């Protein structure tokens, strides 16, 4: 009878480096082969590998997506090798690797094919150490770290993490190795989740103490913040690309995921405008969630190199700091739509949102099959979001190139329509030039995809600017029905309601819904202030303006409207300070100049008012200002005849902005504003 191999095992202490390719199972078969080959070449090229192998003091244990190296030299060997590998990986951005180190008993074992492998607790524990890390981590067991700590040069690079739960309920005390250049300084995901659980348990204990008179802080308004469970904000994705010009791509990823999530009626999704002020991976997620009115936050990073993209995302419950889900995607640029759809679908499932059949189809439908057109679209939105005349023109160029690349790219046509609509306000481009183009682009988008809520919303504003009011309301309602989380639809519909129907209560409900979805938007906040003014509640309007200025100190219209309210209350000095501030922060914008000129006129400062008039009239001659801005100054001077004469010019030109004049408080002396 053959001897029992187990009875012949002899153990020795081995210093084990376990290596694993993160996300290996999600790769295509040919990609798996490429990554394994790259990793093997890197490992074989390290000095520690070559030296130990030459001395016969190295055993290799291959696995499907990595492997283990068992050094029989010193406890420093696996760590030095890990650092060499980490350095080499910097030139292989598609290869994402994590590593674990442990020193423990190992033994050579022959399998049925008489191939010699290594076994023992040393190898098993090294693998479990590695399993606790994310891409880039070099984690050490407490035992390995203590061995290494005897060498003074290693001590600054060892960062204690505490215990991590591994297989079978066991716990390992781990240490993170990083030195500023090599390794991953971030706390591993498993530890963040565990810390969140411990923190929540601590809060529970302290809350219990508070019930008998201890811990008053935990009953303060800040800690009692509540938000709908199915609410989420997608924070700006961090751009990790070496080429910082790829910032547009990181912003675009955020936009695309938001666009998909916003189509789910069972979710409350915060608009990009409100999340943009927060950087990825911020410190106080709970405070950000409180400001945005949500329970959950999705954060992440994007790294783009040539035709390869890496996306790292985490979904966190900000109220208890629990890590709900996270993943890392390494894909080709052509697969980015599938990544965005998968993220949106997984977030919805994790938050247990109910999806209709049409919603499920909407979040997986790619906006275009052409990656070049998609990149151009993302660049267009990048410029659009900056809302200046010059940036709008750049956005137009990008959207136009996108539809040239893909003539059935519906969202790119929406981008064109939105740019044309904004050019009148931000660049004083005549309505006769931009509105037909805006209408054509919106109709083309709907011809391609009649279920696109954004396109219906854009067409609604086109119709309003063309004074086709019945058609405008129909489109706004359809846009809200198809995309209930689109704040722009609620915002523009509220403007329509107050402008042409006088249904102030409905308008207030819509603008407040828009603010729920975009709580930090300066435009929506300013709109709400003007509604308070229309109701005759100056104090509420002033308070809203102040809140807006506190959050957005360089938003000119908030200063302009606050200045107008102060004028109404006879607070002349404060009024002029705010009106002048509006002109300053706008870079002497025509609308803000008209506010100031109106104020000068109302206070009897005729010389100053006439100087503003001269400047605006010169701009009008150059087609850089609208006639209604000049009319506002004449209204302030009390010259109604001249004010109406200038308004008549915009009327004859069918200026779209004239359709919203009724809620501009600066024209109230002409009897143009509505009140209830």
- For position 619, what pLDDT does the model report? 93
Question: DSSP code of 271?
Answer: -
Residues 64 and 182 placed together within one structural domain of the fold: yes
Query: Do 71 and 14 lie in a common domain?
Result: yes
Looking at the structure of the chain, the number of domains it has is 3
**What pLDDT does residue 108 have?**
63
**How many helices (DSSP H) and strands (DSSP E) are in the chain?**
27, 14
> Are both 219 and 324 inside the same structural domain?
no
In the block, residue with structure tokens 């215990």: 163
Q: Which residue has the tokens 């991590």?
A: 164
Whether the model pTM is above 0.85 = no
Q: Which domain holds residue 206?
A: 188-224
Task: Determine the pLDDT at residue 113.
Answer: 40
pLDDT in tens, 316-343: 888 877 888 888 888 887 788 888 888 9
Do the Cβ atoms of 126 and 101 come closer than 8 Å? Answer: yes
CB atoms within 10 A of CB 447: 12
Whether 238 and 331 map to the same domain: the answer is yes
Same-domain check for residues 195 and 317 = no
**What pLDDT, on a 0 to 100 scale, did the predictor assign at position 221?**
40
Q: Any idea which residue has 């994790």 for tokens? A: 350
Question: Are 92 and 211 part of one and the same domain?
Answer: no
Check whether residue 28 and residue 159 sit in a common domain.
yes
Same domain assignment for residues 240 and 264? yes
Helices (H), 293-409: 336-350, 357-364, 371-384, 389-405
Q: Is the residue at 323 inside a domain?
A: yes
Q: How far apart are CA 175 and CA 170, in angstroms?
A: 16
Series of mean pLDDT values for 10-residue runs along the chain (676 residues): 42 83 77 86 91 83 74 89 93 90 74 49 84 92 83 81 74 86 84 52 41 34 66 87 74 84 90 75 74 90 82 86 83 82 90 87 84 86 78 93 95 95 83 91 96 94 89 95 91 88 86 90 89 87 93 89 92 94 91 92 94 95 88 91 89 74 64 43
In this structure, what CATH number is given to the domain that contains residue 339?
3.40.50.10070
Q: 243 and 341 in one domain? A: yes
Domain C-terminal end among 315, 335, 363: 363
28 and 102 in a common domain = yes
Is 126 a member of any domain?
yes
Token pair belonging to 91: 């030139």
pLDDT in tens, 127-184: 889 989 989 999 999 888 888 877 777 878 888 888 887 765 667 889 999 887 899 8
């Amino acid at each position: 009878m053959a001897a029992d191999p187990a009875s012949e095992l002899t153990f020795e202490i081995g210093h084990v480096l376990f290596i694993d390719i993160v996300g290996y199972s999600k790769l295509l078969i040919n990609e798996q082969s490429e990554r394994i080959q790259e990793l093997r070449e890197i490992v074989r090229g390290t000095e520690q590998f070559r030296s130990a192998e030459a001395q016969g003091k190295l055993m290799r244990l291959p696995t499907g997506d990595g492997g283990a190296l068992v050094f029989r030299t010193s406890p420093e060997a696996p760590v030095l090798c890990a650092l060499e590998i980490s350095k080499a990986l910097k030139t292989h951005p598609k290869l994402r690797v994590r590593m674990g180190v442990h020193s423990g008993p190992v033994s050579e074992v022959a399998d049925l094919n008489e191939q010699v492998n290594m076994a023992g607790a040393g190898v098993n524990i090294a693998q479990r150490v590695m399993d606790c890390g994310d891409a880039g981590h070099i984690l050490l067991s407490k035992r390995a770290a203590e061995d290494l700590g005897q060498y003074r040069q290693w001590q600054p690079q060892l960062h204690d993490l505490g215990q991590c739960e591994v297989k079978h309920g066991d716990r390992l005390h781990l240490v993170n190795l990083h030195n500023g250049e090599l390794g991953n300084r971030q706390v591993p995901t498993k530890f963040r989740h565990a810390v969140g659980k411990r923190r929540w348990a601590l809060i529970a204990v302290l809350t219990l103490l508070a019930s008998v008179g201890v811990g008053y802080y935990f009953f303060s308004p800040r800690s009692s913040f509540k938000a709908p469970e199915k609410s989420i904000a997608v924070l700006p994705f961090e751009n990790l690309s070496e080429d910082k010009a790829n910032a547009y791509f990181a912003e675009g990823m955020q936009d695309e995921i938001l666009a998909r999530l916003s189509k789910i009626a069972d979710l409350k999704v915060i608009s990009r405008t409100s999340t943009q002020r927060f950087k990825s991976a911020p410190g106080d997620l709970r405070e950000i969630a409180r400001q945005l009115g949500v329970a959950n936050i999705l954060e992440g990073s994007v790294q783009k190199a040539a035709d390869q993209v890496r996306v790292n995302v985490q979904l966190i419950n900000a109220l208890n700091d629990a890590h709900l889900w996270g993943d890392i995607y390494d894909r080709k640029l052509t697969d980015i739509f599938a990544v965005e759809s998968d993220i949106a679908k997984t977030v919805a499932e994790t938050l247990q949102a109910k999806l209709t059949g049409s919603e499920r189809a909407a979040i997986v439908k790619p906006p275009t099959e052409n990656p070049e057109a998609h990149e151009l679209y993302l660049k267009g939105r990048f410029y659009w979001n900056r809302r200046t005349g010059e940036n709008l023109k750049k956005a137009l160029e990008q959207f136009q190139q996108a539809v040239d690349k893909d003539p059935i790219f519906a969202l790119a046509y929406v981008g064109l329509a939105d740019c044309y609509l904004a050019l009148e306000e931000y660049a004083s481009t005549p309505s006769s030039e931009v509105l037909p183009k805006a209408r054509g682009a919106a109709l083309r988008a709907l011809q391609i995809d009649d279920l696109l809520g954004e396109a219906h919303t854009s067409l609604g504003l086109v119709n309003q600017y063309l004074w086709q009011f019945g058609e405008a309301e129909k489109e706004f309602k359809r846009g809200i029905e198809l995309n209930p989380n689109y704040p722009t639809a609620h915002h523009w519909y509220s403007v329509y309601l107050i402008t042409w129907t006088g249904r102030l209560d409905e308008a207030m409900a819509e603008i407040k819904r828009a603010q729920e979805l975009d709580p930090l938007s300066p435009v929506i906040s300013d709109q709400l202030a003007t509604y308070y003014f229309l109701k005759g509640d100056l104090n509420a309007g002033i308070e809203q303006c102040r809140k807006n200025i506190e959050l957005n100190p360089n938003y000119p219209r908030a200063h302009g409207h606050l200045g107008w309210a102060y004028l109404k209350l006879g607070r002349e000095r404060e009024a002029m300070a705010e009106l002048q501030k509006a002109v300053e922060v706008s870079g002497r914008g025509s609308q803000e100049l008209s506010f100031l000129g109106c104020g000068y006129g109302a206070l009897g400062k005729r010389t100053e008012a006439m100087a503003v008039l001269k400047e605006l009239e010169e701009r009008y001659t150059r087609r850089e200002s609208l006639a209604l801005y000049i009319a506002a100054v004449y209204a302030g001077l009390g010259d109604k005849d001249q004010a109406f004469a200038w308004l008549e010019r915009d009327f004859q030109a069918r200026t779209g902005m004239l359709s919203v004049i009724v809620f501009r408080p600066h024209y109230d002396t002409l009897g143009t504003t509505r009140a209830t």
